[in-house]
Structure 1
Amino acid sequence: MSDWLPSTVLVNALLRRVNDAGGMAMVLAKGDLQAGAILVITCQKGNDFKILERGIGPTGAVGLVAVAAVAGDDPAQVTAYWHRRRDRDPDLWVIELDIPEAERFAAETIAAG
């Protein structure tokens, strides 16, 4: 038995926490309910994009790992990146968070699960 919670539970918890805090959280693509990888796109008011994924960090602990740098604040580059990533992994969840300290919300929710 795995110690990880199902992906759908983690995603739903993250969406609820961000929305309850007054931010905006959206599922851009649904992945496998049990074991789909989770890609998180963070921004603030549509700017300052970061792309993170739940994975094993440098210390060996589960956490959020930066997976791509996006040049500037071009949402088209972000969209192109996650579409390419999803083409390679159709079980991938893609979540967008627009709230101050979005990375903290994601880390507290997803990495803890």
Structure 2
Amino acid sequence: MPPDPRLTSAMLVGALRRRVVEAGGFATILVKGDEISGVILVQAVERGRETGLFERVPNLDGGYALMRCGPAPAEGPEALSAYIERRRRSDPDLWVVELDVAQAERFAAETIC
């Protein structure tokens, strides 16, 4: 059986950025991770207000899902920065992508999962 072809992390992040921009939003890479298989964290923002941090994780069906992670938005930007720094120390291949668009979590789930 041939190997299962998978899109690289760089391709998924690129597609996500294009979709968000096409919808009138703003997407930026805060931390560039491993091009092939880096874990992707999505920092969701709506009109400049933090709405959550999400991680692309494998699911039981062999695909991927988006899971909320990190501190709650109410904990403030310092808690978020500290969480991301801890994650980067343990996983230097990590991507962090900020999406400022309505329903950022939906965009991420539809594009990278």
What band does the TM-score fall into relative to the shorter chain? Answer: 0.7 to 0.9
The sequence identity of aligned pairs, in percent, is 45
1:89 partner amino acid: D
Which sections of structure 2, spanning at least 5 residues, go unmatched?
none
SS in 2 for 1:77: helix
Partner residue in 1 for 2:45: 43
Q: Which residue is 1:62 aligned to?
A: 64
Indicate yes or no: 2:18 matched with 1:29.
no
**Map 1:1-113 → 2, pairs under 5 A:** 1-57=3-59, 61-72=63-74, 74-111=76-113
- TM-score, normalised relative to structure 1: 0.87
Unaligned runs of 5+ in 1: none
Q: Is the 8 A contact 1:32 1:92 kept in 2?
A: yes
Q: In the comparison of the two structures, how many residue pairs are matched? A: 111
**Is the CA contact 2:70–2:80 (under 8 Å) kept in the aligned structure 1?**
no
Q: Distance in 2 between matches of 1:51 and 1:60?
A: 23
The alpha-carbon deviation at position 76 of structure 1 amounts to 2.3
Shift of 1:16: 0.8
Provide Cα deviations, 1:17-48, integer angstroms capped at 9, x if missing partner.
10111111110000000011101110112224
- Structure 2: distance between partners of 1:57 and 1:43: 25
Change (3 A) 1:39 1:98: same
Once the two structures are TM-superposed, the CA of residue 73 in structure 1 deviates from its matched residue by: 6.1
C-alpha contact (below 8 Å) 2:16/2:111 kept by paired residues? yes
Query: What are the Cα deviations for residues 70-101 of structure 1, in whole angstroms up to 9, with x where unaligned?
Result: 25162222222111111110000000111110
Per-residue deviation, 1:61: 4.1
Moved beyond 3 Å, runs of 4+? 57-61
Structure 1 residue 59 displacement after superposition: 6.3
**Bigger-Rg structure (1/2):** 2
Three-state SS of the structure 1 residue aligned to 2:44 is strand
